[in-house]
Structure 1
Amino acid sequence: MKLSRVPSSVAFAACATSLVTLLAACGSDTETTSAGAPSVTDVATSSVTAPAAGCPTAAPAADVAPEWTLPGATGSVSVTGSTDEAAPQITVEPPFSVSETQVHTLQAGDGPVVSDTATVLVCYMGVNGRDGSVFDSSYQRGAPVDFPLDGVVPGFQKAIAGQTVGSTVAVAMTSADGYPQGQPAAGIAPGDSLVFAIKILDATA
């Protein structure tokens, strides 16, 4: 069983810890999905004015109960969303994969409904189902990011569009809805299913 928590370090070859920073600093060609959409972190901005609370960086309690458990086509995953004080927890029984993208609302918010073309401000953590490694996390950086939903991978849009601001959601996405050609800088290979825990802080039309 592979336990993924925010404090774990993620090493990306020859570059900084954040995939956002990596793509900017290394000048890599932008990876695109089969539909031509850039990755989540390709379009995320690092100059967002974060809310006072930011994204919590503390590890969750050891005895925290999962809010969602999903058996996959192979392996399984359980997810607990973030709190005001602690980051989310994603536990993978690898190799985890799904044949269809699955979205689950961990905690419903009471804000407005997010449209599929909104620009959203979120805290998120992404885990590779193949080995349970954290490949990117705004929780590790302690600050949210914003991006337009019509400019990211389909799985991320499916997870957030139709949710309400303030919600915490989880998504287990197929490779086709994530990075079908892989994302080598983040250790994502073609065919990898990905799991995200996402807190929706704000959205604008």
Structure 2
Amino acid sequence: MTPVNIRRVVLPVAVASLTIGLAACGSDSGSDSAASSSTSAASPSCPSAAPAADAKPDWTLRGTTGSVDVVASTSTTAPAVTVTTPFAVEQTQVHTLREGSGEVVPDTATVSVCYVGVDGRDGKTFDSSYSGGTPVQFPLDRVVVGFKKAIAGQKVGSSVAVAMNPEDGYPNGNPAAGINKGDSLVFELTIVSVDG
């Protein structure tokens, strides 16, 4: 399956158009004047190589329906997110896959991350900076609640998984990303850097 680069689809709508424009705290409304996501020329790349076929999950979560297995990214491999569909959670769940050694991310920071997003309803990847090879930078006050919950308080360098309930993601869906109303979302991300 080929991931859809949603950042290109929704970029005018969201400031940090990370993964389908996770901006506006889950709101479907946005602003055409929002700034685009940016990365520094000196930014490290997001690895795109697949993990080993026999890699064991670093996190397994049983949802109210379905389940998810997440193999964390490494410095040389992208993560793997495998979903038994339909996957749904009532409460957002955050799991630190690998703790970094950098500074703690404040909840008002601007961060640079490598990430992949998967829809729990159908198990499809809807966006991935790993496939593009470049981290995405965005302020935490401009992303949906579930993404902020996954990052704020973590250390730079950490790899984190989050299973996000619809209320912390897109309560009304995001048609441009193929996300329906009521879909739970799963992300694996690595915090590359923090500013402020």
TM interval, shorter chain, is: 0.7 to 0.9
Code of the residue aligned with 1:20 in structure 2: it is R
Match of 1:118 in 2: 109
* Unaligned segments of structure 2, at least 5 residues: 15-20
Give the 3-state SS of the residue equivalent to 2:167 in structure 1.
Answer: coil
Question: Structure 1 residues 34, 51: CA separation in 2 closer, same or farther (over 3 Å shift)?
Answer: closer
Give deviations 1:107-146, integer Å, cap 9, x for gaps: 0001110011100000000000001000010001010000
Q: Is the 8 A contact 1:37 1:152 kept in 2?
A: no
Contact 1:43–1:151 (CA<8 Å) still a contact in 2? no
Find the counterpart in structure 2 of residue 183 from structure 1. 174
Match of 1:145 among 133, 136, 141: 136
Separation (CA, whole Å) in 1 of partners of 2:112 and 2:26: 25
Task: Provide TM-score, normalisation by structure 2.
Answer: 0.88
Q: Partner residue of 2:9?
A: 22
Q: Residue by residue, what CA displacement relative to the aligned partner does 1:146-171 show, whole Å, maximum 9, x if unpaired?
A: 00001100000000000000000000
State the SS of the aligned residue for 1:139.
Answer: helix
Does the alignment pair 1:170 with 2:157?
no
Alignment check: 8 A CA contact 2:44 2:135 kept: no
C-alpha separation in 2, matches of 1:73 and 1:43:
37
Q: Are 1:91 and 1:132, in contact at CA under 8 Å, matched by a contact in 2?
A: yes
Partner of 1:13: none
Indicate how the Cα distance of structure 1 residues 44 and 129 shifts in structure 2: closer, same or farther if over 3 A, else same: farther
8 Å contact from structure 2 (residues 113, 192) kept in 1: yes
Aligned positions, number:
186
Q: 2:76 aligns with which of 74, 85, 99?
A: 85
| Partner amino acid, structure 1, of 2:2 | S
TM value normalised by structure 1? 0.84
Tell me the distance in 2 between the aligned counterparts of 1:44 and 1:88: 25
Alignment check: 8 A CA contact 2:73 2:190 kept: yes
How much has 1:23 moved relative to structure 2? 1.7
1:65 to 44, 56, 60: 56
Cα distance in 2 for partners of 1:171, 1:109 equals 16
> CA, structure 1 residues 23+77, in 2 after alignment: closer, same or farther (shift >3 Å)?
same
Identity %: 54
Helix, strand or coil: the match of 1:176? Answer: helix
Contact 2:27 2:170 in 1 (8 A): no
Shift of 1:69: 0.3
Cα displacement string for residues 168-205 of structure 1 (whole angstroms, at most 9, x for unaligned residues): 00000000000111010111000000000000011111
Residues 28, 172 of structure 2: 8 Å contact kept:
no
Give the direction of change, closer, same or farther, for the CA distance of 1:92–1:50 in structure 2 (3 Å limit). farther
SS of the residue aligned with 1:75?
Answer: strand
Deviation at 1:84, TM superposition (A): 1.1
1:9 equivalent to 2:2? Answer: yes
CA distance in 1, matches of 2:108, 2:25: 18
